[in-house]
Structure formats: structure tokens, C-alpha cells
Amino acid sequence: MNRDALVVGINHYPFLKTSPTDDGQHLKTAAADAEEIAQLLEKYGHFRVRRLPETSTSPLRVDEQASLTSIELERAIAQLFNPRTPNPPETALLYFAGHGLRKESGGITEGFLATSDSCPRKGMWGVSLKWLHELLQKSPIRQLIVWLDCCHAGEFVNCSSPHLQTSYSQQHFFISAARDFETAYSNLQSPHGALTEVLLKGINPCHYPDGVVSHLNLGRFVEQKLTGTPQQPVILSCSQEIVLTCTPENKHRLYSTPPKEPAPPTPAVPSHAVQNSATVENKLYNALLSLDYIRQESLFQEFVQNNQIGACLIHGKQEYGQRWLLHRLLRAIPNNNTASLTKKISFLRQVQNGSLDALWGEIKRKLKLKCQPLPDELAKAVCNLWQTQTVVLIFDDADQIEEAHLEKFINDFWQPLVEIANSKPPKSRNSRLLVFLIDFDGCAPKWSIPFADALDTTWKPHIPLKLPPIKPLREMELAYWLEKAFNDLPRQLTDSIEATVQSILENSDNGLDNDLHEFGLHELAMAHICELCDQDWDEINRTRYV
């Protein structure tokens, strides 16, 4: 089995200028990044690597001083993905580190991989990402991999996502360092670009217990590590496993036979015929606790492990599973047990005629406080409760009240509570004082309330932390979950993972703009998973919520 890679790292950009006297927007680390990627692909992925630009002396390396033209790069990419040979490689991988450009004209945008001769003012942009997409559509190669560490790389996924209907005989795995409108960043504490920094760790199989890196592992690793950073990677992936790298003793994993056309999902077998129903339900429940939500959980765990006080906003559109995510986050609170005080209050029922008086009364009633139903008095009483236990307050339906009322709640209750709590901390460092705000309808992006998106040096507990928005469940996440939870799931889910993924997505898109069934809604997906296992999602889910 042949595995080919084209690894590109361009430092030299003499014609990309911010002013006529500018020497050019040269890069310092792109070539070095590419060289380190090349060496890992050779050592652990058994790829035949071509480097561009390449030194002329042995050992061959990515040349840090040389230029690369758009014609040279385009020819090399064409040779990689559409080689003129009757025996093309099984796997082809493109890695690009350099500048990315975005052209806007008449409301139409187009992305480019910038080369050393790129000069937008003269109409020379580089290699078109739309052309790259069209090339991949015609490729005879079974496994197509593209990693772009450059600005505006999301334009490539914009081209690919709506159109790339991948069959089971052709697999794909695309990572773009940033969305179409974003710039890509370097890690200030590292000599590498932010995406490449993560890739170098993620494709090294020595960091994995089983010594094997699949595209599912890597995609999840990239998303986890770049959560909360100024740029967000964009990943487009198939569900069937692509083994990227492995330790020497696992080399056989790289040499897999082409997959067969999958059979339809196995009809659900009554659980009593296989094993005790309660056992199936418990295993399925535990498995569902690891399905998706990685960005939200990662940021919350970082927060709750290092801070005693804070408020978090959970937000997404309808049926994205906000309550299930809340349940998972509550499990992550240190020492959150039966001795903790957790109460849920609905904004919708308590905010009436523009007044928060009923809300203050409900907080007093739910927490059984002996004080006046005034925000300052409530804050003092809640802080007293916190002295001996963890206190968690959950406020549902933030999307159902006016923004001004939510802002008033934060200003009049939460911020004074934080001020009092900071001046009167409990003796135990294990106690937490937490508030959750739940937006069930995706309203949060419209609010002008000052939330924090990351835990940087400017964050203070009185500023609510906005967790990453919940996005539709993707094919890659489902496939990763089925692979990792394989031993805990019934055979009707794991006999044909590819077919199971398609069945789940087809039954959970609920009218999304999703003709290819590449995305699903979490709640509908989990309900269908339970149905395939002859289990009742409502029953599994019923006793888990607060």
C-alpha cells in the first residue's frame, strides 16, 4: 500500500506588502513547521514525503530560504491527488503552512493558498481552494487528507462541505486552521503555528496508549486543544477510520483492505435475549456521557478545577441537548455529591411584567432562606450556605426573557454575590459557588451582555463565562464515539459503524440544511441510538436531570 504526502512550508513572501516600502510579509516558522510534520509522517505514518520548497542537498529538508511559485505548487498538488498512473496511492496527504488569502468581489469570496509570487494588487493570488476542491472530487485515491495551517483556510471547507458526497470507497479528513473569515495565529509560547503545534503532538503515536493515531483521534484532539483560543479549527471528516500514524509494532494497522459496502444497521435485538436490560441501560447511559460536547466540557473543567466561584452560560439552538450537557458538567464539579445544594429555577415563570420581584421570591423559597426577598439580602444568605457546602443555582429559559432583565439579574444578584463571596470564602477549598444560565434557543449571540469567551488573564468571577456554542452533532464525532465505546455498546450499534452513523444522522437532522445528512441534533440522535438498542431515551434520561 502506497501512502504519499506533499508537505509545504513557505516563509518567503516578498510581494505581500502592507506598504510600498515594506520588505514583504515573510514568515519565520512555516518551513520549520512543515519539516517537523514531514519527519513524523515518514517515521510513524510510512508516507513517501515530498517537500516544497526543497533543499537541493541531502538530507532533503523544507528549504527555509527558497521561494515557491503558484505554478509549482499547483502542479505538485495535482500530481499528488490526481497522478497520471494506473496504480495511484491508497492515501494522499497535503499539509500547507504559509499565508492564506481571501478575495472578495461582488459579494463572492474565494480563498487561496498564497505562494511566494502572490501579489493581490497585480491579480496574483496563489492556488485556488475552489480548484483544490474540484481536484479532490476527481481524485482516484481512496483516502484524501488535507491540513491547512493558514489564514482563511475555512474557505476550503466552505467549498467542500456542501458538495463532497463521499462514498464508502473514498474517505476524507480535512482540517483548516481557522474559519473563512479568521486569521491563523502562532502560539506565542511556541515556535510553531497554533494548529501545527497541536498536530505535532496529535499525530505522534507515542502519546497514545494503543500506539495508533486515527483521524478520529486526531480530529477530537485538535478540537479539544484549540478550544478557547482566538481561532477555531474547521474539520470535515468521514466516519470510517483512517489510520494516520502508529508505533512500529502496530505497523500492520496501516495496511487495511478496502472496506466493503456496509449492511444496513442490524435490527434491535430485545435486550432480555442478550443481557439484563438494566445492564444495557447503564452501559448505554455511561457511553452517552462521552458523546460530543468536548469543547464545552474542556473549558468548564479548566474553569471548575481552578476556580471556586463562577457563572457559566450553556447555549445552543433547540434540541441541541443543553440539559444533557448540564448534567455532564454537574458531574465534573469536584466533590459534587448528595451534600451539595443544587436548585433549578425558571426565568420564564418568575420574570413578570418587567419585574424580577417574583424571581427573588422564588430564590428565597427554593433555598429556604430566612431573609427578605431582595437581591443583596439573598446574596448574603447564599454566601452563608456556601460556607459548608457546594451551592449550584441553575436558571433555565434565559432565552425567554428580555436581555435587559437578564443583565439586571447579573448586575443586581450575581455580581454582589461574587463580591461578598470573595470577601468571605469557606474554609474548604473544595466548595464551589456556581450559577448556570441556560439558553435553549440560540439567543446568546444576539446579546450585548459582557460575557467572557475564554479564561484569560483578564477574566474575573463576576463576568459570566460563555461556554462554546453547541453545534450540530457531526459524522466524525459519532464515528469516534462508536469506536471508543465499542465494548460498552450493543452489537446492533457496532456491527457496522458506518451504517449506524448514517442511520443516526438520517433520523436526527430534523430539517437542518443538511441534504447529505452530515449533521444531527443531539437529543434526536441520542433518542435514535436508544431506539436501536431497544432502550427508551426518556427513561434513561428522566432521572438524570436536576
Asked if residue 215 and residue 159 are part of one domain, the reply reads: yes
Which residues lie closer than 8 Å to 433 by C-beta, 6 or more apart? 308, 309, 310, 382, 383, 386, 390, 391, 417, 421
Q: Are 78 and 140 in contact (CB under 8 A)?
A: no
Is the full-model pTM beyond 0.85? no
Domain CATH code at residue 15: 3.40.50.12660
Note whether residue 457 is domain-resident.
Answer: no
Query: How far is residue 77's CA from residue 93's CA, in Å, rounded to a whole number?
Result: 10
Note whether residue 68 is domain-resident.
Answer: yes
Residue finishing a domain among 211, 239, 255: 255
Structure confidence at residue 512 (pLDDT): 60
What are 254-291's pLDDT values in tens digits?
Answer: 875 444 444 444 444 443 444 455 677 888 888 999 89
What are 294-332's pLDDT values in tens digits?
Answer: 889 888 988 998 899 999 999 999 999 999 999 999 988
Asked if residue 476 and residue 438 are part of one domain, the reply reads: no
Domain CATH code at residue 427: 3.40.50
Asked if residue 237 and residue 346 are part of one domain, the reply reads: no
Q: Return the axis-axis angle of helices 522-532 and 322-331, rounded to nearest 10°.
A: 80
Distances (CA, A) of 451 to 233, 314, 334: 22, 12, 24
The secondary structure of residue 206, as a DSSP letter, is G
Asked if residue 176 and residue 138 are part of one domain, the reply reads: yes
Asked if residue 246 and residue 146 are part of one domain, the reply reads: yes
Asked if residue 509 and residue 424 are part of one domain, the reply reads: no
Note whether residue 454 is domain-resident.
Answer: no
Domain housing 533: 279-286+472-543
Structure confidence at residue 513 (pLDDT): 55
Asked if residue 513 and residue 417 are part of one domain, the reply reads: no
Note whether residue 192 is domain-resident.
Answer: yes
Q: Provide the CB-side half-sphere exposure for 83 (13 A, CA).
A: 16
Asked if residue 138 and residue 21 are part of one domain, the reply reads: yes
Note whether residue 299 is domain-resident.
Answer: no
Note whether residue 297 is domain-resident.
Answer: no
Asked if residue 217 and residue 75 are part of one domain, the reply reads: yes
Note whether residue 459 is domain-resident.
Answer: no
Asked if residue 516 and residue 437 are part of one domain, the reply reads: no
Structure confidence at residue 260 (pLDDT): 43
pLDDT in tens, the chain (546 residues): 689 999 999 999 999 988 877 888 999 999 999 999 999 999 999 999 999 999 988 889 999 999 999 999 999 999 999 998 888 999 999 999 999 998 887 777 888 999 999 999 898 999 999 999 999 989 999 999 999 998 877 667 655 444 444 433 468 899 988 654 445 444 444 467 789 999 999 999 999 988 999 998 898 888 888 866 666 788 888 778 899 999 999 988 887 544 444 444 444 444 344 445 567 788 888 899 989 998 898 889 889 988 999 999 999 999 999 999 999 999 889 877 655 788 998 887 777 666 899 999 999 999 999 999 999 999 999 999 999 999 999 999 999 888 999 999 999 999 999 999 999 999 888 899 999 999 999 999 899 999 998 888 889 999 999 999 998 988 878 888 888 888 888 888 988 888 898 899 999 886 565 554 567 899 999 999 999 988 888 877 765 555
Asked if residue 227 and residue 84 are part of one domain, the reply reads: yes
Query: How far is residue 99's CA from residue 94's CA, in Å, rounded to a whole number?
Result: 15
Number of separate domains in the chain: 3
Asked if residue 434 and residue 363 are part of one domain, the reply reads: yes
Residue finishing a domain among 422, 442, 462: 442
Structure confidence at residue 230 (pLDDT): 61
Note whether residue 437 is domain-resident.
Answer: yes
